[in-house]
């Protein structure tokens, strides 16, 4: 009986010793692994504190940011990823190309004369098409459309804002 108790005590001591000898992952180790992952995006950085990765910086797309978070969560020892990163705003579309060769200047002049009573309306040639821009009221929009349609100048884009 004494031998059995002694063996059980020895087995427990060995098992506690094995558990306590298990190598604990340090923040420095996690920082190295996380930094290696984040270097794929030069606009981002990561800091690991108490097993929590703090991701910051700017990503080109939300998908890039989500993929980075997933990779960081996959690192063994990282408890959580705090997302403090942003997604870069989309670049605005290029402004329309303005050309005057596709519309007869006489037609453009007629339309400008038709809308001369509406100083907020601009007559332009955008992408080869006659275009009206500006801010107008609902009633002004109706009057402008009637005046321009009466000229029978063909296709006209009414890109003004009706307020």
Is the pTM here over 0.75, yes or no?
Answer: no
How far apart are alpha carbons 27 and 23 in whole angstroms? Answer: 13
Which token pair is 60?
């080109």
Q: Which residue did the predictor score with more confidence, 107 or 75?
A: 75
The DSSP code sequence of 135-153 is EE-HHHHHHHHHHHHHHT-
Q: Which residue did the predictor score with more confidence, 82 or 156?
A: 82
Q: What DSSP character marks residue 8?
A: H
How far apart are alpha carbons 37 and 72 in whole angstroms? Answer: 7
pLDDT digits (tens, 9 = 90+) for 86-130: 998 876 666 665 544 467 788 888 888 888 888 888 888 888 788
State the pLDDT at residue 159: 83
State the pLDDT at residue 110: 84
State the pLDDT at residue 4: 59
Which token pair is 137?
């009221």
pLDDT digits (tens, 9 = 90+) for 23-69: 678 989 999 999 999 888 888 999 999 999 999 999 999 999 999 99
């Amino acid at each position: 009986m004494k031998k059995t108790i002694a063996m059980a005590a020895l087995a427990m001591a060995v098992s506690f010793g094995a558990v306590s000898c298990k190598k604990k992952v340090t923040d420095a180790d996690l920082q190295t692994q996380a930094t290696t992952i984040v270097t794929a995006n030069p606009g981002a950085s990561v800091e690991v504190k108490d097993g929590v990765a703090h991701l910051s910086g700017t990503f080109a797309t939300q998908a890039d940011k989500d993929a980075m978070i997933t990779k960081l969560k996959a690192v063994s020892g990282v408890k959580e990823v705090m997302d403090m990163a942003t997604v870069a705003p989309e670049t605005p579309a290029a402004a329309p190309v303005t050309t005057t060769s596709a519309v007869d200047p006489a037609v453009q002049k007629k339309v400008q004369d038709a809308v001369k009573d509406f100083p907020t309306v601009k007559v332009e040639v955008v992408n080869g098409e006659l275009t009206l821009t500006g801010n107008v009221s609902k009633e002004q929009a109706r009057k402008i459309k009637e005046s321009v349609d009466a000229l029978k100048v063909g296709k006209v884009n009414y890109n003004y804002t009706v307020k």
